[in-house]
Amino acid sequence: MSFAEKVIWITGASSGIGEALAVAFLAQGAQVILSGRRVEELQRVADQAPQRCRVLPFESTDYDALPAIVADAWSWRGQVDLLINNAGITQRSLALDTDFAVYRRLIEVDYLAPLALTQLLLPKMVARGAGHLAVISSVAGKVGTPLRSGYCGAKHAVIGYFDAIRAEVEQAYGIHVSVILPGSVHTAIATNALAGDGSRRGHSDPNIENGMAVALAAERILAGLAEHQREIPIAEGMELLALQLRVGNPEQLFAFTAKEGARLAALRAAGGSLDPSDIRSQ
């Protein structure tokens, strides 16, 4: 399937995976709605094809503003063919060191915000009898990993919601639902992560720096979406193995992640800096 002329709404389009998706869809001739908070960054992406882009800035957790934004997005071309709930934020802190406010923010941004947007768009797609909803979860949405207890919780939750609505709308109304599961992709995600006190972490870590090139991740995501794939893993090596072990041999997976937890606990006791190990290279 080609995305030429399709209307595609991407949240978190101002950087990283969302920006790379926008570039890839534009290259196929799609019309793209770009959302995120940083207007100038969204405009920078839109400048590549101004006639086929609409910048629609938002703070994804400002739920009161969403109905007007959804109406605006829909009226631009009279439809939205594909919504990609990509905007998100991660965490780098052990549960022992994490404020409750951090858990609340992760649930808001990574779970409730995509749910709220999807909830508003879904009736329009159902009335039209066509549409495609997608969410960027994570390998961490299937596998509990140290330093990301709140992120894992939110990314697991979002899979549950989208799997459930797929069951409700796929055959009944012809709406496709895709859940995307990236492993480490080279973006600013770890730098933008929340620390345990809610501050921005401000530096990256080796697994993200050595992660998959963002353009390759986008290319693979587009290939899966074009086939209306229900679940799209974008992972290699140990991260792909972790997804497989979660189903086939969870005990082995839990033993592996506990070893990483013990390594981090020892570092914490010694006052060292807590970076996740680069499991892609193991």
Ligand X SMILES: NC(=O)c1ccc[n+]([C@@H]2O[C@H](COP(=O)([O-])OP(=O)(O)OC[C@H]3O[C@@H](n4cnc5c(N)ncnc54)[C@H](OP(=O)(O)O)[C@@H]3O)[C@@H](O)[C@H]2O)c1
Looking at residues 12 to 31 of the shown chain, list those that interact with ligand X (rule: CB under 6 A). 12, 14-18
DSSP helix/strand/coil, 231: strand
Token pair listed for 241: 């193995």
- 37 scored as a contact of ligand X (CB under 6 A): yes
Rg (Cα) of the chain, in Å, rounded?
19
Residue 185 or 253 having the CB closest to ligand X:
185
Give me the sign of the Cα torsion angle 136, 186, 144, 103.
negative
Residue 40 or 251 having the CB closest to ligand X:
40
* Helix, strand, coil percentages for the chain (3-state, nearest 5): 55, 15, 30
Q: Measured from the CB of residue 276, what is the shortest distance to ligand X in angstroms?
A: 11
**Separation of alpha carbons 259 and 264, rounded Å:** 9
- Residues in binding contact with ligand X, number by CB under 6 A: 31
Question: From residue 176 to residue 215, what is the string marking binding to ligand X with x (rule CB under 6 A)?
Answer: ------x-xx-xxx--x---------------x--x----
Question: Starting from the edge strand earliest in sequence, which strands make up the sheet with 53-55, in order?
Answer: 53-55, 31-35, 7-11, 82-85, 131-136, 175-182, 231-234
Beta-strand (E) ranges in the chain? 7-11, 31-35, 53-55, 82-85, 131-136, 175-182, 231-234
- 278 scored as a contact of ligand X (CB under 6 A): no
Residue 12 or 196 having the CB closest to ligand X:
12
**Separation of alpha carbons 201 and 192, rounded Å:** 6
**Separation of alpha carbons 63 and 114, rounded Å:** 10
Residue 169 or 221 having the CB closest to ligand X:
221
Element (H, E) at 67: helix 66-77
Burial classification of residue 51, based on how many CB atoms lie within 10 Å of its CB (0-12 exposed, 13-18 middle, 19 or more buried): exposed
- 224 scored as a contact of ligand X (CB under 6 A): no
Residue 86 or 145 having the CB closest to ligand X:
86
Q: Measured from the CB of residue 40, what is the shortest distance to ligand X in angstroms?
A: 9
* Among 34, 56, 66, 109, contact with ligand X (rule: CB under 6 A): 109
* Among 23, 27, 41, 126, contact with ligand X (rule: CB under 6 A): 41
Among the listed residues 63, 103, 111, 151, the single catalytic one is 151
Looking at residues 244 to 263 of the shown chain, list those that interact with ligand X (rule: CB under 6 A). none
What residues are paired with 149 via a beta bridge?
Answer: none
Is 151 an annotated catalytic residue? yes
Residue 16 or 146 having the CB closest to ligand X:
16
- 153 scored as a contact of ligand X (CB under 6 A): no
Q: Measured from the CB of residue 236, what is the shortest distance to ligand X in angstroms?
A: 12
Active-site residue set: 151
Which residues sit at the interface with ligand X, rule CB under 6 A? Answer: 12, 14-18, 36-38, 41, 58-61, 86-90, 109, 136, 138, 182, 184-185, 187-189, 192, 208, 211
